[in-house]
Amino acid sequence: MFKLRKAEPRDVPDILRLIKELAKYEEMEDRVLLTEKDLLEDGFGEHPFYQCILAEWQEEQSNEEPKVIGFAMYYFTYDPWTGKLLYLEDFFVVEEFRGKGIGSEILKLLSHLAMKTRCGSMHFIVAEDNRSSIEFYKRRGAEDLSKEEGWRLFRFDKDSILKMAAPAEE
């Protein structure tokens, strides 16, 4: 059976493990550069940049420690038209534990949190070829804003930032 709870500093190794498993599922695992130290400082310091909900699994009548087999990483963002938003950054359940309603329970918990914190909507991005995830979200009412309203995600990487920060040539 499974249980959901808020992540604590001791969970950082499991959070990193699941981040890497999700990146592997998206075929981008070599892109994970964060360390446990980064996650600890950034999530559990004075000013947390992210929050996590974890799903733990424990076999009935087992003495073993519960295993962390799913997580959701989220934070709050702001839409200048409608106000506070809950942003779902990462959301993953280990393959062998899918189909048990864990993902749905996590979304339910996040939905309660969104309502409690007066968030108008929940945003997240999905890779366009991740059809099973897109189906999972669409079945629950999610809309594809990129398709419907033409929004595209852009990035300035470190090099571009350094160039823009450099003093303009006279």
- From 4-12, 53-61, 62-70, 145-153, give the range in contact with a second copy by CB under 8 A: 145-153
Distance, in Å, from the CA atom of 52 to the CA atom of 151, rounded to the nearest integer, reads 27
Shortest CB 64 distance to a second copy, Å: 27
Pairing of strands 67-79, 51-57: antiparallel
| Residues between 80 and 109 with contacts to a second copy, criterion CB under 8 A | 80-84, 87, 89-90, 104, 107-108
Among 77, 95, 131, 135, binds a second copy (CB under 8 A): 77
- From 2-10, 53-61, 62-70, 110-118, give the range in contact with a second copy by CB under 8 A: 110-118
By the 8 A CB rule, do 1 and 58 touch?
A: yes
∠ CA 50-54-55, nearest 5°, is 160
The strands making up 67-79's β-sheet, listed across from edge to edge, are 2-6, 51-57, 67-79, 83-93
Estimate to the nearest angstrom the gap between the alpha carbon of 105 and the chain centroid: 15
Q: Pull the structure tokens for residue 2.
A: 């499974």
> Is-catalytic flag, 50?
no
Residue number with CB closer to a second copy (58 or 111)? 111
Q: Does 76 bind a second copy (CB under 8 A)?
A: yes
Among 61, 63, 99, 158, binds a second copy (CB under 8 A): 158
Give catalytic residue positions: 137
